[in-house]
Amino acid sequence: MERVYAGGRLRRMRLDRGMTQVDLAKLLAISPSYLNQIEHDTRPLTVSVLFRINEVFSIDPGFFAPRDTARALTELREALPGREGADPVPLSDLQDLAGQMPEVAEAVIDLYRRFREATEHLGALTDARSSVTTSSPHEVVRDYFYRHQNYVDELDQAAERSARAMGTRRGEVRRRLRDHLAETHRITVVVRPREEGAPTGEMHRYDAAGRVLSFSPHLRAGQQAFRLATELAFLEQSDVIEGLLDAEVWPSDEARHLARIGLANHFAGAFILPYGPFFRAAEKLRYDVELLADHFGVSYETIAHRLSTLQRPGMRGVPFIFVRVDRAGNISKRQSATGFHFSRSGGTCPLWNVYESFAAPGRVITQVAEMPDGQRYLWVARSLTRYRAGHGQPAKTFAVGLGCEVRHAGRLVYADGLDVEDARAVMPIGPGCRTCERPRCPQRAAPPIGIPLAVEDHRSTFAPYPLAGSGPARGAST
């Protein structure tokens, strides 16, 4: 059994109940000195002590489970770079803060976000060119789904029930949805003709007054099915969606509106690929995205996205990170059922294999990557190209990446033949140059926050930004 150090959480639980160490030690049948050692993380929580805590307080054992701190560490590194001219806050201190006092860590991160927002707003008032705020509505919605591990049980269960009630089967989802909308809601579905002057930027539009749902002629069957299911969510799950929205505090109407669309989209994905059948197929095919796409008749991206949502209690799949990036490094989609988190500033890591996939169109690229905190991930990436119209129209090319902690690698077909424990096969990557502490990385595009540079007139290094105290830089020439 993995040792559990959760002294901070145990101490908080005790103080919340107004108990002294002597009082709690007596209830747990241990000595006060032993309890003091547990609360200060010099001794782990044993199975017998956990059992007594659960017996006395009816505490969910998950309360003391080790926290996934990867994302918190990244954001704490941005929020607490250290005092100017001094060494940065040690990683070990940040790990202690994120793991043992998660509420304090989240408060620090939230305070830093507010500071950045205020700074950006001030810049907007003094310089119109600085009008972009850090916490955009899209970022707020991403954080919402991150806190829910990219899974919303009420909507996912409702979608599965709806699909079962309609009797949907593979290859017939779009037809059943069209029939249901026509019979139950008197909605007519039409595809706009391919004629000159037709709207080119609109994928679909629902005219509530005329009860007409129209699609662009460029939408594939799977895309039409997804939009049909999204409108079904607005029609039949509005109470559930509004209840979920009311349970949160949204910084703006725009953020709430985007979250509403995100929740409807979550329902749509769960309707097209119902949890139970999809989970069983994913486990049977060992998360082979291409085989799953063929099996369910949907796109590679749709399968990859759905795999990142398999977090139903009692039937959990591999907790994946899902990303979609373009050639310029912009992340257009980012969702996670785990703690992996790229920095909000400074871009992503150029050593990440999602960028390598652009050089091998249509081929799956695998990579075992290690973050600066030592956490290793198995990444699977593939580039995709979409053509919206005919000759002369620009194509949309991007890469889709799926990642999971290496401890889950054995469940994936992509780990076959890989020695995930071999340090020679591991690629060191970072959350983003401005928060990455790897001093000798030849690909660094910006200096790290809070670490002074070693600038000398008569010395040059292979590393583009030599850091003070890092010693002679080694690496490939830039």
Measure Cα distances from 247 to 2, 244, 250 in Å.
35, 5, 10
Q: 190-194 — which CB contacts under 8 Å span 24+ positions?
A: 190/214, 190/215, 191/215, 191/216, 191/217, 191/219, 192/216, 192/217, 193/217
184-198 pLDDT, tens digit per residue, is 999 999 998 865 444
Q: Which domains does the chain have, with CATH numbers?
A: 7-64 (1.10.260.40), 70-135 (no CATH), 136-272 (1.10.10.2910)
Quick check: 87 pLDDT over 80?
no
Q: Which residue has the higher pLDDT, 274 or 344?
A: 274
Across 64-78, average pLDDT: 69
Q: How far is residue 20 from each of residues 11, 16, 23, 24, measured CA to CA in Å?
A: 10, 11, 5, 6
Residue 73 scores a pLDDT above 50: yes
Residue 198 pLDDT = 47
- DSSP at 467: B
Residues of the chain above pLDDT 90, percent? 40
Q: How confident is the model at residue 230 (pLDDT cuts 50, 70, 90)?
A: very high
Distant-in-sequence, close-in-space partners of 240: CB < 8 Å, separation ≥ 6? 154, 155, 158
Cα 408 to Cα 280, 320, 379, 413, distances in angstroms:
17, 10, 12, 11
> Torsions phi, psi of 336, nearest 5?
-145, 135
Residue 62 has pLDDT above 70, yes or no: no
Provide the percentage of residues in the chain whose pLDDT is more than 70: 84
Least confident residue range of 25-34, 178-187, 221-230: 25-34
Express each pLDDT in 96-151 by its tens digit.
787 777 778 888 888 887 887 777 666 555 544 434 444 688 888 988 998 888 99
pLDDT bracket for residue 442 (50, 70, 90): confident
Q: Looking at beta carbons, which pairs linking 442-451 to residues 24 or more positions away fall under 8 Å? A: 442/475, 442/476, 442/477, 442/478, 443/349, 443/350, 443/351, 445/346, 445/347, 445/350, 446/346, 446/347, 448/88, 449/77, 449/78, 449/81, 450/81, 450/82, 450/84, 450/88, 451/81, 451/82, 451/88
Cβ proximity of 381 and 399 under 8 Å: yes
Higher-confidence residue: 232 or 475? Answer: 232
For the chain, what is the mean pLDDT? 83
Q: How confident is the model over 304-318, as pLDDT tens digits?
A: 999 999 999 999 999
At 266, the pLDDT band (50, 70, 90 cuts) reads very high
Tokens of 395: 């194509």
| pLDDT single digits (tens) 356-378 | 999 998 899 999 999 887 889 99
Paired with 368 in beta bridges are 378, 426
| pLDDT computed for residue 282 by the predictor | 97
Q: Among 76-90, 136-150, 291-305, which is the least confidently predicted range?
A: 76-90
For the chain, percent helix, then strand, then coil, each to nearest 5?
A: 45, 15, 40
Mean pLDDT is lowest, of 48-57, 223-232, 339-348, for 339-348
